Structure 1
Amino acid sequence: MLLSINPEHVENILNGNKQFEFRKIKCKSNVDKIVIYSTSPVMRVVGEVEVLEIIVDTPDEVWELTAEFSGITKHFFDVYFENKEKAVAYRLGKVKKYKEPLKLMDFGISFAPQSFVYI
């Protein structure tokens, strides 16, 4: 699947500081790889990362399991999951940064997905 991710978080994923990607909704399919679309101002597909595990639980439980390598602050996490009963965390593995960033059209996608799109 291809995920739209803020450039700051993309950088932290690529350099290994962020080992979890958080979402409010779990994808319906089991995925083994996330293709990373870096949002504005980059607006390019910059790499991909292996998905090792998908954690779905309460926000408190997910934070407890992921905090050390979350790549985000507790405050950011709490604001993102405010009033949510479930949180989703994709545990990230091996990262592959593309030598040349690609356009969405290279994947047959004409617009940046709000959250994710299956490819």
Structure 2
Amino acid sequence: MRVLLSIRPVHVENILQGIKTFEFRRKIFARKDVQTVLIYCTMPIGKLVGEFDIEDILEDAPDTLWQMTECGSGISKEYFDEYFKGRDRAFALKIGEVRPYKEHVAPSELMANFTPPQSYMYVGDSRHERLSGRQLELF
């Protein structure tokens, strides 16, 4: 199973460059069979730009999670603290293999009435096959 995540352009760039090796989330998917993340780069890009495998999912108190992920966070401690402010649990996806798409794809080409998810959206294999068939040429 795949999940689509909305990620800001600066973080997408850091993921694609290998600087950011953890993607932080306030909540995590209920399904345990999610293995791949489709990267939706938020506006002004507004397109699917690649995907990555989930190597691991870490969960802990925010301060403990920061200690475990700081080197691959790609963000400042202040940004991290603000993101998890008021939370007693925090999640980090350990980013495995990253596959940028040669051509970015408008989500509306794959999904009618697409609205970017606030946290995540499950993407069935049939939708992804339409994408993979023409997109898995890497940079």
Once residues 95 and 45 of structure 2 are traced to their aligned partners in structure 1, the CA distance between those partners, rounded to angstroms, is 22
- Structure 1 length-normalised TM: 0.97
Query: Which deviations, in whole Å up to 9, do the C-alpha atoms of 1:62-106 show, x marking residues without a partner?
Result: 101100111100000000001100000000011000000011123
Equivalent residue number for residue 34 of structure 1: 37
> Residue 121 of structure 2 corresponds to which residue in structure 1?
117
1:78 to 70, 78, 81: 81
The letter of the residue matching 1:10 is V
**In structure 2, distance between residues paired with 1:45 and 1:59:** 29
| Partner amino acid, structure 2, of 1:60 | D
Normalising by structure 2, we get a TM-score of 0.83
Q: Secondary structure at the match of 1:78?
A: helix
Say what the alpha-carbon RMSD is for the aligned residues.
0.9
Matched letter for residue 100 of structure 2: K
**Residue in structure 1 matched with residue 65 of structure 2 by the alignment:** 62
Find the residue that maps to 1:41 and give its secondary structure.
coil
Structure 1 segments of 4+ aligned residues over 2 angstroms from their partners: none
In 2, the alpha carbon distance for the partners of 1:48 and 1:81 equals 24
Matching residue's letter, 2:67: E
Partner residue, 2:107: 104
How far 1:117 moved relative to its partner?
0.2
User: 2: distance between equivalents of 1:104 and 1:56?
Assistant: 30
Task: Return 5+ residue gaps in structure 2 as ranges.
Answer: 124-139
Structure-1 separation of matches of 2:109 and 2:91: 28
Gaps of 5+ in 1: none
Structure exhibiting the larger radius of gyration computed from Cα positions: 2
The equivalent residue for 2:127 is none
- How many residues are treated as equivalent by the alignment? 119
